[in-house]
Structures are given as C-alpha cells and as structure tokens.
Chain A
Amino acid sequence: TQLLEQSPQFLSIQEGENLTVYCNSSSVFSSLQWYRQEPGEGPVLLVTVVTGGEVKKLKRLTFQFGDARKDSSLHITAAQPGDTGLYLCAGESSNTGKLIFGQGTTLQVKP
C-alpha cells in the first residue's frame, strides 16, 4: 500500500514568517499535487508537479518534487493570514493510477 506522510500536522506561526511542509513516501509517484482547503469547502488544486526535481512557484509558494519522485515540499515565504488553511498533498499512484492523499497540514497564520 502506498502511503503519503505529511509533516508537520499542525503549524501555527506569525505573519511574515517562512515555513515548509513536507510530503514523504517510500513509493514512487507519477505526479504529485498540492491542494488547499478552507473550512466548509472542498480542496482547491494549487499545483501539479510531474518531473523529478521539478520546482514550481505560485507567488509566495514554492513547490518541489523530489528527484526520485517519492517526496515533495511546499515552502511559503512571508506567510500571511490569508494563507491559513489545510494543505493536502496527493500522489498519483504509479501502480493504480489513483490519487493517494496525505493526512494534511493545518496552517494558522496569526496577524
């Protein structure tokens, strides 16, 4: 069974700080996606990374896919209260083609 472990599970920081969320597995994924979810709503896709070593930037968010396509990270620079939410990584299983979700990281950014 392919598993995705996210860390940390909870993160509470002050506005302006930087942070990194990690998504790790012992399995190889065909692609890796990051979602952000707000209370009472469904997850919203932020980015998809496909190639090992790929780096994508979305304003203050930087996403990286590991060289071996087993792990990924999300780095937020100068966090703002609007970044508060649940961040989910999801890997496309190279065996089944289905998406496997991590447990999520709850981020709180205090003004």
Chain B
Amino acid sequence: DAGITQSPRHKVTETGTPVTLRCHQTENHRYMYWYRQDPGHGLRLIHYSYGVKDTDKGEVSDGYSVSRSKTEDFLLTLESATSSQTSVYFCAISVTGNAYGYTFGSGTRLTVV
C-alpha cells in the first residue's frame, strides 16, 4: 500500500482504561496526523507532529496525548477512555504539510463500553 499502517484495526475497551493506538510509516515523511471520524462531523484533527518530539494540538485534543520518538511511529493515547471517544481514528502522513495532500491509514475502530 502507501507505507502507512495502523494498529490495532479494531478495539473494544472499558470506560476509564488507557488505550494506545499506533501509526507506523515507511515513507520517512515529516508530518503525521491523528484524526477522528464521526457521523455528521467529518474528519477532525486531534494532534499532529512536524518532526521527532515535535507535536501540537488540533481542534479536538482534550483527553488525548501523543508521542513521536521516531520518524516512523506516531502514538495516540487515550489516558482514560470515555464513551464519547468511541470513533474511527485515522492516521495520515504528508511530505511538506498540507499542500500536496495526505496519505491516510486504514483506520482503527475504537469502541468504549
């Protein structure tokens, strides 16, 4: 595919537990992003990274944290999962930021019960 994989693809977890989603790329792209997709809301940016150890918040960052210790890996952590975080999570990568488009992973469907 495009050299971006997300794991796990599906996860069910209980309210209050921590959850970590992983995004791995083999493209050596500088920029990486985490989005969530919900019906009626489209894709909303959670956090993004513009280099190793360089991250910033998006529009819906509350309850989420990220880490990027290597170029190829971008981790999204839900510190204490809530039902409102039930969603499909997508990771994306890009070469130079927004101008040339993003390559998305296949997504992680997370259910918090």
Chain B residues near A104 (CB-CB < 8 A): 42
Majority secondary structure, A binding face: strand
A13 adjacent to chain B (CB < 8 Å) = no
Instruction: Indicate with 1 or 0, residue by residue over A16-44, a CB within 8 angstroms of chain B CB atoms.
Output: 00000000000000110101000011111
Given A43-B43, A98-B45, A99-B45: A92 touches B98 (CB 8 Å cut-off)? yes
Given A31-B98, A97-B97, CB of A102 within 8 Å of CB of B42: yes
A103 within 8 A of partner (CB): yes
On chain A, the residues within 8 Å of B41 by CB distance are 103
Residues of B within 8 A of A (CB): 40-45, 48, 58, 90, 92, 97-107
A interface vs B, CB < 8 Å?
30-31, 33, 35, 40-45, 48, 50, 88, 90, 92, 97-99, 101-104
